Structure 1
Amino acid sequence: FLTRTGSESGDHKIWQNGFGTSVNGGSYALNTSEGIIEGKVPWSELGGVPAEEDIIMTFSIYRADGGDKAFDTGSRGDALDYATPTSGNTFNALIPESGGDQGRLDHAETVAFESPSRTIVGTDGTGNDTGWRLLTTPAPSVTRGDLEDDLNFNVDSGSLLHTWDGTSWVGASSSGVPLPRGGGFILYFFDDDVDPLTSDGITLDAPGGIAGSAEDVSVGGLETGNRFHLLGNPYEKAIDLSSLEGPSGGDLVGAGFQATVQIWQPDPGVWTTITQGTADDNIATWQGFFVERTSTGSGASTLTFKKSGRQNGDGDLIGSKSRPVNAENDTTQQALVDLSLTVAQNEDTLAQDDGTVFFESRATTGWDAFEATQLSPPISQAYATLSSPTERGGTLVRRTQASLPYPTRVDTFVVPLSARAVETGGTATLRWPADTRGQLPGRWTVELEDTDTDTRVNLRNGSYTFDLDPGDGTLSAPDSARFRLHVGTSSAIPVEMTRFEASQEAETIRLTWATASETENAGFHVQRRRNGSDWQRLGFVEGAGTTEEPRTYRFVDDALPFDADSLTYRLRQVDLDGSEHFTDAHTVRRAAPDRVELRKPFPNPAPQQATLRYTLPEPTDVRLHVYDIMGRRVATWANRRVEAGRHERTVQTSTLASGLYFVRLVTDEKRRTRKLTVVR
């Protein structure tokens, strides 16, 4: 085809060899997997035109059969992206000449573009990856029927695919149900013998041609009376969430929506959040997601995906939490605390949920654009949730993400938390996962308060376990929430503890702990208690003062209460100025005795009384007899059924004459004897 340079001399260059070839430095390359025809022209090679001159050439892609024009490009270096071609169409490239005439490519190309597809990968074996996926398709005019060659929809347990009508899920019961571009749906994977979701994955494709990347995609019909709207990435590449705009441009907040969107994560079965404007706020291709209207009855009814937001890669289909950049740097003005709730019975996980506290410089103390209202799991009747309750317009709202202003001074924020169980229950564990802690400055403190038990734990040092019964977590007001999260922005943490462990070694308990840094640390008081008794001080380990180097400490408790089946330890860290901080408590359950044993009495000699200690590996009848040196039985100190374990008994020796005696322990199968001397 002809190209007019725009120079006064009217020189022309002619490319007549078609796409994928190069003449005089110009090239046209096909990328059928992405649906892009890319034109590159070295402008300095065009006759009569200085290299520094800004030349604009307008290319157009037409269907050779006379169909509608697909796309114009009028700026230097633009790719010639097509809009909505069908696989197998033939295209001509045209360029306007003076007077409106058009030069035509002498050699047209027939292009077989690939259909969009996405492989969803699981783990080998069946039943490991069962669950819902929140999806979309990056192609127009797709129906449920287009996915029926990928999954078996002939099941008796209900619809595999559901769409969202603005207020609830609707089962797609027929092949003709449309799946609009820019909208979303949920699809259930059984991961069974028929459709196993293995490491090779299941590939979904949308026949009818790729959906083209050259156009913005608008999604209309978003009823202002509905709170939640289900959208989907309309492109064959990941998009930056910041490219989702309202009718007048701007971000989601300007269009009347929350800045935070939600995506269902089937493993472990929780809603995860992505906040517009944060680092890594990308939405993967084929990914569906929920947007939340800030106030029902207002805001835009149309949102537009801008083509400029397309990324180079496909992105993580499941989605991930937004990750602020370098939380250790105060200038970031963003920080995040991600909490995890797990409910289990007999080591079987029954339910899980996540909750987030987001610190952002643009957030306010009241409801703002960075909050996210909690959604129930898709089509599930038994579940557990972790939320931060608040009041909005006199109505109780559970938040899966609560937002607060990024602090500008030393302060402590208190956030109510509620753990709710719906038709499930068990042993609940609330933790701050270690792999998410880099989202919060290291000097900030994170503590969980249980108002029911008056317990407060440092989540940097461990998790918190409690009983969660069906119906727990029902709220009448935010203040009735059971838990409080205390986030402190103290100028420095005296000791950044990375590990505190307690383990049994023979007849001792070995304590080890490590620190990442210390500030004016005088040292650690080691404390112990048993069966809820008062804490007892065992010893003191000197600290390192102030250091940025990791340090490791240890303490051995070699004076264990003999009959204690379990012992609990903690550290009382003391600063040089006398202030103190406690670690979480660690309980050690001692190994059960494996033999019948009678320990030496003490004191020995015994003036008035003596203590006897013995161990039993199983329940048995126990008799404690006392014999003099003539072999005569002079006393019986025990004759009863005794449970397995460690036992300690204090006996009176004041009734015995001074002299040497033998104490004999007799069980159903064993006899053990020890000497005892009585003195006056």
Structure 2
Amino acid sequence: MKRILFIIFIFSITTAIFSQTAGDFQSKTTGSWTSFSTWQTYNGSEWEDAATTPTSASGVVTILNGHTVTINSTLTIDQTIVDAGGILTVDLSSSETLTINNGTGDDLTVNGTLNLDGVLSNGGNGLTGSGKTVINGTCNWISGHITSTDFNIASSGVMNMEGSGECRINWDGVVNNAGTVNFAKSGVAFVMYYNGTFNNLNGGVFEATTNQSIYHRNDLSSGNMPEFNNAGIFRKKTGTGTTTVYKMEFNNTGTVDVQTGTLKFTDYARGTHTGTFTVASGATILTENYSDHDFNEGSVINGAGTFEITNRQIAVNGTTNGTVIGSDLTFKLSGNSTLNGDGKLSVNGTFEWTSTGFIEVEVFIISQGGKLNISGDNRKTFRAYPHGTNKIDNYGTITWTGTGAIGGYGPINNKSTGVTDIQNDATLDCSDGAWTVINDGLIKKSAGTGTSRFCANLTNNGTLQIETGTLDLYYGTFTNYSDNSGHPRLNGGIYNLHGKLKFKAQYDRPIEGNNAEIILDGSESGILLFDGSNALINLASITADGSLTLRNSRDFSSGAAAFTNYGTLDCGSNVFSNNGNFTNADNAWLIIGSPDGIASSGSSGNIQSSGTRTFHTGGKYYYNGTSAQVTGSGLPATVRNLKIEKGTGVTLNSGASVTDTLALNEGALTTGANILTLGTSAASVGTLTRTNGKIIGNFKRWIAAETVNDILFPIGTANNYRPANISFTSAPTTGGTLTTFFTSSNPGTAGLPLNDGEVSIQNIGQDGYWTITPDDGLNGGTYNIDLTADGFSGIVDYTKLHLLKRENSGSNWTASGTHSVCTGTNECPGLHRVGLGSFSEFGVGSTSENPLPVELTYFEGTATEEGVMLSWETETEVNNYGFEILRFAQNDSHSEEQSDEESWEKIGFVQGHGNSNSPKYYSYKDEKPGSGTISYRLRQIDTDGKFEYSEIVVIEIDERLPTKFELYQNYPNPFNPSTRIKFDIPDFIASPDRIGTKQSVQTSLKIYDILGREVTTLVNDYLKPGNYEVNFDGSNLSGGVYFYRIKAGNEYQSVKKMLLLK
């Protein structure tokens, strides 16, 4: 081991020896550069004390680890190395200079620390020279000039700009940073003088942790302009105040990251940018006061903060991706600022336009999700200048507030996702030329009760929505208005009008035909000619592509003598009237919201034209009212399409056939005794679509003579959807119809029990059954059937259910076809059977695992002299344990709502018959019902503890209340061991303030022995007027004489004697 160490030592000495050259210097100790004692020199073979100090003509000069060498006078150096751990301190007074000579290689290499400090004046040059300085370690720049044209901070290097002194890049000085600069000045700032340059290279970080400025100290009259070129990261990291950059070029090809406070460019701080500006939430970048900026291809402004330009100009020049404003950023154009350039600006965030200047950018895009907010009372201008092709493409939202007009010219393309929201009564004027507005999205006037004016050539392919006031198209062309050979027509677009749309003077004839979608919502809504007259006064038709929606009742009688709907007329719940005939043409939609539907004549329903009303059999009828509806006498017996979208239901006035499409979107269509038919023949069976709707009643469908799956009959009850689904696995011989309805009554148990395969079917569902009847020649074929028994009661295991069939209500149930396992849930089981050949009635059968319900035929009550007699009957019973009799006294002071189970009192129980397929009769007498309104119900309990409640029976019992207090002799007396004691409380009480009130009185009934000692208390409660009886049990007492005493309030008390025999 010692030998190895020796070899290494010899090698190190040899390396040291051969790396030295005669004339080299190295520090001997800490001291001044100009002191002999600080240095050693190499004589060619060994180091010796120096007789001179190093100069630029010397060899390599090294400041060793642990030594600090200070320069405090004018000096020129070259080939100087500061080792790691070594320190070179430059501390110059006024007019003194340290020159880095441009010799061979790097002229000053700092692996340790370089301290730059000194007193500066205009005459002092600080650190100068054309030699190359490389900071691999640390440079602490406290004050002083750097005029050196090749000062470099390497990737490992750090420059700390600290203290209160001025740090200046002077004249033609150049600092290149590939490492880290910490700008933490506490006094005067970082000065760049004349043509000084700071290059923050790719990978370099310039981090400001102060609010001090970066600026050019001199005026700009000489034409000189310092440069700060950022290709790395320029970061304002701390300081909630403002870091100001002014009088210089600031060019960003990297990233400017403002994390806090404000970074301000002012006083001719201009720049050209292809990099990224990131502004954190709450932070701001502000450019002002002759600080113009060119944003070129690839530049991005993002973050959640604010970028504001005020009283200045910004040019966007990139044409491919251009300049992008991020989705969370707020960009403000304020003061007298101008946005121009031949490029593209894409706004993904928010653009606030308050300035009085121009926007002249070639392509201005508000992206989907982006916002352009135009506000203020000053006039703004957008111009297609200088090329005439500038445009605004809005995919997001433009919001225009304030009273200031927008002048200029050029195209505004409101795209399909775009929203332009006018919230004022201002003007889009054309003093500089006509606008061209193409609307494929939504333009709306949502605020301002006056008039907003458009000077524009307008094409509306989207929606014009006027929620208030008037939108006046006072100048330019409106391409949607067509003269149509003297019969003006509105072509294309949607016009959703709460307010008014007004045409310019050249469109002076009322509209006769509507080939657009017009929505009239409210009494103030309408379309006006230039003179304010009604543009719809002669409206006579809606074309096939047009629609008219009414949100209030309208009379079109003053112009056209007849009205024909070829497109869509949506009445809502409002009345359409005209002084003439009305026709809903073939293929036209009539949307009906009136509770009365449509009437063939008279003053009910949606259509109340004074002439003949023709509802074409080829028309389409859509019911969507907000309350229950009837179809009305005007609905033809045959229609092309019928659509139901009504949660509270629609009822057929008469039978109807649908030739093409029946759509059940929501709610129930009730047929009553009528039949709703889909299709016209086996060759034209029609189409059914269903979302949530159903049919209550009779539904007939035409069936083709072919194999077909899933022929749906969406029938049910008011509370349950119980559809039938038919699939023909072999085609019928001839086609025809099937009519289906559901009957909500007990189907009976005839034929049960029966075997379905190896399973015994014991029970039948009591909630109802399905009837499917063939007609119109339907014959032959084999089918599968699916039934949904939604809401059937008594099901505990849906997998044990079987679908049964019988010929009619007088026939036995059978297991025709082949059973298929039930699917779904206990609450909504789906029953399936395959291989059937005929149609009839179908029910829900089950094994004994599903008890199915005990069905009450009736439950009633009768008041008699002896009390109330309750009687009831069951049709069938399965596992019926019995009935609890429950009473609710409405005149009971302690009772609440009938829905509160605790308010019902159990007064008796009647044993059930377990299982029965025949009617069973029951009765119960309530001997003490009390008086007034008394309610009863039954709680039917199964043997497994499950229960259901019956309907409620209400009995009125005449009041026969006592007229005086009375305590009666107990009976029997003598007694052993028990006796009954009766007493009366009258309906008036002696106290004047309580006469006739039927108010409860505090009542006590107590038992005493022969010595007057209290034995027990039988009553201690507030009692209303009435007859009362209590039982006294003396089993635990000795025989002898006892007394019972009643006390009712302060009005009455009485004592009687009784004898207990033992």
> Aligning the two structures, in what range does the TM-score lie when normalised by the shorter sequence?
0.3 to 0.5
Q: So what's the TM-score if we normalise by structure 2?
A: 0.23
Greater RCO (CA < 8 Å, at least 6 residues apart): 1
Higher Rg of the two aligned structures: 2
